[in-house]
């Protein structure tokens, strides 16, 4: 048999599946380009970006399963969630994993941002990687915000009222923003259908597209060396290690640990649900999710306009940070002022989050 005839036969698929696929796709070249790269031996990603990616995959899988039974209308949404928890096999576990993975994803995206920031891995030529990262952070937060409403219980309903109220207080565009978010003056069925549509369609597409660009840039530029800036373009100078299999295997171990933590959290602390939403009865102490608590508590101690504008300006500054801090220094001891400033902002954020969680006393003069 000629080589061509041998490859064409079905038996060749069983004998050498990799060769069979290769002869029909030419995938080896692509796999080599993607995997067989070298990264600086000193790169310390702490695997946070990869963990965020892993958690998104978990969210897509559990979210799809939930969507099979969830009914997106205020009359029946609450009952459909109760039914997922009580009647569907492992429904409570799927819902809990979705709940905890959402929280962990936000935590790890934030940790990833901090890692990149403190290692100055955003500096030239990685400015665009950073900007796409900020967009990913925004999408992740909106995922949390829109998902929170879907169970349509008291907590979900009133947190959305408070959250959209804050959006409505943004100067100039506030009224339009409120209308856009709620689909009317109040939180109603119109709000739920747009939150559902955004949560299950718009955001997943946006996240996948942004992530594809983000990771392509990471691949094209290689990982940053936290000790020095490598001249670009070109492979890293100094000692390197293999991305595949060495780094990939370490990353998989990190995912394995996160998966274990996720299963323990979801099993021991299942996602709860309160009474069905009642637009006529405001419950005591409505608060947003932990990742919006800092802004929420901050709003109580400063005039409303400042409390709303400062986080917006802060986010804009974060987005353009690579263009503000452009020097060649990457070591923290060479960036003392920036590091001290960022640490103070971070501690203030942690303090206000702690106030919201009742871990710390509120500052004097804080309203309720």
**Out of 97, 106, 120, 137, which residue is the one contacting ligand HEM (CB under 6 A)?**
137
User: How near is the Cβ of 232 to ligand HEM at its closest, in Å?
Assistant: 11
| Rounded Cα distance, 158 and 282, in Å | 7
First to last CA, the chain: 83
Rounded distance between C-alpha atoms, residue 76 and residue 9, angstroms: 55
Q: What are phi and psi of 228, to 5 degrees?
A: -160, 160
Q: How far is the CB of 249 from ligand HEM (least distance, A)?
A: 14
Stretch that binds ligand HEM, among 27-35, 47-55, 141-149, 305-313 (CB under 6 A): 47-55
Q: Can you give 261-328 as a three-state secondary structure string?
A: HHHHHHHHCCCCCCCECCCCCCCCCCCCCHHHHHHHHHHHHCCHHHHHHHHHHHHHHHHCHHHHCCCC
Task: Let me know: does 244 contact 31? Beta carbons within 8 Å.
Answer: no
Q: According to CB under 6 A, which one of 20, 50, 97, 308 is a site residue for ligand HEM?
A: 50
Nearer to ligand HEM, 85 or 109 (CB): 109
| Of 95 and 123, CB closest to ligand HEM | 123
Our CB check for ligand HEM shows the closer of 132 and 152 to be 132
Q: How far is the CB of 40 from ligand HEM (least distance, A)?
A: 9
Q: Build a one-symbol-per-residue string for 115-134: x at contacts with ligand HEM by CB under 6 A, - elsewhere.
A: -x----xx---x--xx--xx
Q: How far is the CB of 177 from ligand HEM (least distance, A)?
A: 23
| SS3 assignment, position 194 | helix
Question: CB of 49: closest distance to ligand HEM in angstroms?
Answer: 3
In the complex with ligand HEM, the residue whose CB is nearer, 116 or 266, is: 116
Which residue's Cβ has the minimum distance to ligand HEM? 133
Q: Which residue has the tokens 């901090």?
A: 114
Structural tokens at position 91: 């429904």
Number of residues that bind ligand HEM (CB under 6 A): 26
**Listed residue (215, 192, 16, 44) closest to 118, CA to CA:** 44
Q: How far is the CB of 27 from ligand HEM (least distance, A)?
A: 22
Distances, alpha carbon 47 to alpha carbons 26, 87, 114, 125, 133, in Å: 30, 37, 12, 21, 15
Closest Cα partner for 183 from 166, 200, 196, 171? 196
To the nearest whole angstrom, how small is the minimum distance from the Cβ of residue 205 to ligand HEM?
A: 14
Confirm or reject binding of residue 240 to ligand HEM (CB under 6 A): no
Q: Return the number of the residue (76 or 345) whose C-beta is nearest ligand HEM.
A: 345
Tell me, residue by residue from 198 to 237, as one string, x for binding to ligand HEM by CB under 6 A and - for no binding.
-------------x--x---x----xx-------------
Closest CB 50 distance from ligand HEM, rounded Å: 4
Which residues of this chain interact with ligand HEM, rule CB under 6 A?
45, 47-50, 52-53, 109, 112-113, 116, 121-122, 126, 129-130, 133-134, 136-137, 140, 211, 214, 218, 223-224
């Amino acid at each position: 048999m000629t080589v061509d005839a041998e490859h064409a036969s079905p038996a060749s698929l069983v004998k050498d599946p990799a060769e069979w696929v290769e002869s029909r796709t030419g995938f080896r070249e692509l796999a080599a380009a993607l995997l067989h790269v070298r990264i600086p031996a000193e790169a310390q990603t702490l695997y946070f970006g990869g963990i965020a990616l892993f958690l998104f995959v978990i969210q897509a899988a559990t979210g799809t399963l939930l969507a099979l039974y969830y009914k997106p209308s205020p009359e029946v949404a609450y009952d459909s969630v109760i039914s997922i928890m009580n009647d569907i096999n492992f429904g409570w576990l799927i819902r809990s994993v979705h709940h905890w993975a959402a929280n962990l994803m936000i935590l790890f995206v934030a940790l990833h941002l901090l890692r990149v920031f403190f290692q100055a891995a955003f500096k030239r030529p990685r400015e665009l990687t950073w900007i796409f990262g900020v967009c990913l952070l925004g999408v992740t937060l909106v995922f949390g915000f829109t998902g929170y409403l879907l169970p349509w219980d008291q907590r979900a309903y009133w947190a959305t009222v408070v959250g959209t109220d804050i959006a409505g207080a943004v100067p100039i565009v506030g009224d339009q923003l409120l209308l856009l978010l709620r689909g009317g003056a109040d939180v109603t069925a119109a709000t739920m259908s747009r939150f559902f549509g955004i949560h299950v369609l718009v955001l997943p597409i946006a996240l996948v597209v942004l992530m594809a660009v983000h990771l392509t840039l990471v691949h094209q530029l290689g990982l940053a060396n936290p000790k020095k800036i490598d001249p670009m373009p070109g492979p890293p100078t100094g000692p390197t290690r293999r991305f595949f299999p060495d780094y990939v295997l370490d990353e998989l171990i990190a995912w394995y640990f996160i998966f274990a933590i996720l299963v323990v959290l979801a099993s021991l602390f299942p996602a709860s649900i309160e009474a069905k939403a009642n637009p006529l009865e405001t419950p005591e102490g409505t608060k947003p999710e932990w990742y919006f608590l800092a802004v929420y508590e901050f709003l109580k101690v400063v005039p409303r306009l400042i409390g709303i504008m400062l986080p917006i300006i802060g986010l804009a500054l974060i987005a353009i940070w690579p263009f503000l801090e452009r020097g060649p220094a990457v070591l923290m001891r060479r960036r003392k002022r920036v590091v001290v400033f960022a640490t103070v902002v971070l501690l203030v954020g942690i303090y206000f989050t702690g106030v919201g969680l009742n871990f710390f006393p509120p500052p004097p003069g804080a309203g309720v």
